[in-house]
Amino acid sequence: MDKHVLVIDDEQDLRELLSLTLSGMGIEATALETIAEAKQALADQHFDLCLTDMRLPDGNGIDLISYGQSHFPHMPIALITAYGNVDLAVDALKLGAFDFLSKPIELPRLRQLIDNALAGGGDKKQSATPISTKLLGDSRAMQNIRTQISKVARSQAPMFISGESGTGKELAAKSIHEQSSRCNLPFIAVNCGAIPAELMESEFFGHLKGSFTGAIEDKLGLFQAADGGTLFLDEVADLPLPMQVKLLRVIQEKSVRPVGAETEVDIDVRLISATHKDLPKAVEMGQFRSDLFYRLNVIDIHMPSLRDRPEDIWLLTQNMLTDSIKITTAATDKLFAYDFPGNVRELENILERASTLCENSCIAPRDLKLSSKPASAKTTSNNRAVSSLDDHLDEIEKDILIDALEKTRWNKTEAAKKLGISFRSIRYRLNKLGLNDD
C-alpha cells in the first residue's frame, strides 16, 4: 500500500466503513475521532488524502480545511456532510475542499472521489506546451489569474469564468483542466449559443436510435463524452430556461438520461462554465435560474480585458508574431493607443492580417488597419467617454458584431445569418468599423 488516507469521524461505524472501503482499494487508512488527533497525525506523517466529517467533538470540518490549506496545501481534503447540507459543502469548496460527500454515503461515489483525489498525486502526462503558459502577461492581473487557477484546479467544484469576449476564458478553462487530477481525461468544450434549442437535449445527454425522426443510431451526449474529465460550457447564459432546469438536475443527481432511454447513466464530470454576459443581471431579469447560477458559480474567476492590462500588449505581440515578422515603433504605439473591444483575440486577428499585408516583413501603422478614432473618444458598456452620437452608435454596432462573430467562431457567413443581414452587408460593416481581417 503506497497511498495513505486520514479519516476523521466521531462515529465508529462510519470510521470502520471508510477504513474497510479504503483497504479494499489497496489503500492504507488511519481513522481518528477528533481534530486534535488529526493535527497530531498530520504533523507526524504524510497523508495523500483526508476524509473528514463536518461535525466533530472539538470543532468542524471547515476548521480542518482551513488548517490544511495553510499547512498542507498539496493534500486534498474531502468533506462528509449530513444530507441536505449543501450550503456548508459549498462554503467548504470555496475554502479549498477537494469535494464533498453527503450521508448516507454511496460507496460507488466514495470510491470515485478517492480515485479522483489520489490521481492528482501521481505523475501527470504534460503536453508539450502547457496551456497555462498561453495565459500570457506580466501584469498583476494576469499573475493573479495564474495563481488563482493553480489553487483551484485541484478542486472538483464547478467553476464560473466571466469576462468580455476574446479575453481567454476557454484558455483559462483548459488550464484548470490541465492542472487538475483529470488532466489525462477528456476536455470537451461546447458553445451553448451555437446549438439549436430543439437539438440541445440530444447534444448534451445523447439519444437512442429511433428515439426521434433522424435518430438513425445511438449517440453519446457531451456529458458522457466528457465522463471522468471536464465539460466546458461556453456562453452558458444562452441556455434556454427548459434546458437550465435539466442541467440543474444533472448537477444534483450526477447522472443523465439519454433521449429515448428509460434509465439514467451515472456521470463523473467537472463543470466549468463561462459567458461574456452579465449573468447576475440575467438572474435578476428572470432570464437565468438563480439556483443554477449558484450551483455553477461555486468558484469564480474574472478574466481582465486587454485595455485593463495594456502593459501586456507588447509581450502578447511578440509572442504572436513569427520570428520573420518585425513591427515598427510607430505601429506598436498605435496598438497601445487602441482599446481592443475584441481583446486578445482581436489583437491576434489584427497581427495575423498585418503580417500578410506588410511589405519587407515589417508591420507599419497602415498595415494594422485600426479605427482612426482615438480610444478616449469612444464609449462602451463600461461607460467611458463619448465624443458624439455617431461614435456611440458605432460602438454599439461593434459590440453586436463582435458578439455574433464570437458565437460563430468568427465565421462571417454564419454571423451574418445570425444577425439577419447579407454577407455583403456584414463585410461592409466590418470594414467600416475596422474589424475586417480580409
Give 409's pLDDT tier (boundaries 50, 70, 90): confident
H or E stretch covering 86? helix 86-95
DSSP string, 23-50: HHTT-EEEEESSHHHHHHHHHHS--SEE
Q: Which CATH topology does 138-302 take?
A: Rossmann fold (3.40.50)
pLDDT at 122 over 60: no
375 confidence band (pLDDT: 50, 70, 90): very low
Task: Give the start-to-end residue ranges of the domains of the chain.
Answer: 4-119, 138-302, 306-370, 377-438
Helix pair angle (412-419, 423-432), 10° resolution: 100
| Greater model confidence, 216 or 241 | 241
Say whether pLDDT at 407 is over 90.
Answer: no
The residue among 108 and 173 whose pLDDT is bigger is 173
Binned at pLDDT 50, 70 and 90, residue 329 comes out as very high
Q: 89-103, 372-386, 395-409: which has the minimum mean pLDDT? A: 372-386
Choose the weakest-confidence range: 185-194, 258-267, 270-279, 377-386. Answer: 377-386
Quick one: pLDDT at residue 120? 61
- pLDDT greater at residue 390 or residue 414: 414
The pLDDT assigned to 123 comes to 40
Could you tell me if 239 and 193 are in contact, meaning their C-beta atoms sit under 8 angstroms apart? no
Look at strands 206-207 and 219-220 and give their pairing. antiparallel
**Percent of all residues in the chain with a pLDDT value above 70, rounded to a whole number:** 90
The per-residue pLDDT of the chain, averaged, comes to 85
pLDDT at res. 378: 41
Highest mean pLDDT among 103-117, 342-356, 390-404: 342-356
CATH 1.10.10.60 fits domain 377-438 = yes
Rounded to the nearest 10 degrees, how much is the dihedral formed by the CA atoms of 121, 19, 85, 286? 40
The CATH number corresponding to 306-370 among 3.40.50.970, 1.10.10.10, 1.10.8.60, 3.40.50.720 equals: 1.10.8.60
Choose which CATH entry (3.40.50.1820, 3.40.50.2300, 3.40.50.300, 2.60.40.10) describes domain 4-119: 3.40.50.2300
Specify the pLDDT at position 176.
93
Q: For 39-97, how does the pLDDT look when each residue is reduced to its tens digit (9 = 90+)?
A: 999 999 999 999 999 889 998 888 898 898 888 888 999 998 875 566 777 778 777 78
Tell which wins on pLDDT, 280 or 406. 280
Lowest mean pLDDT among 138-142, 215-219, 270-274, 350-354: 215-219
The pLDDT value given to residue 385: 45
Task: Give the model's pLDDT for residue 382.
Answer: 43
What CA–CA distances, in Å, run from 176 to 77, 138, 161, 215, 377?
Answer: 18, 19, 11, 35, 38
pLDDT band at 436 (very low <50, low <70, confident <90, very high): low
4-119 and 138-302 share one CATH topology? yes
CA atoms within 13 A on the CB side of 228: 7
Q: 382 or 239, which is more confident?
A: 239
Of 234, 309, 343, nearest in space to 279 by CA = 234
Region of poorest pLDDT, from 17-21, 251-255, 429-433:
429-433
Residue (of 52, 107, 96) closest to 74 by Cα position: 96
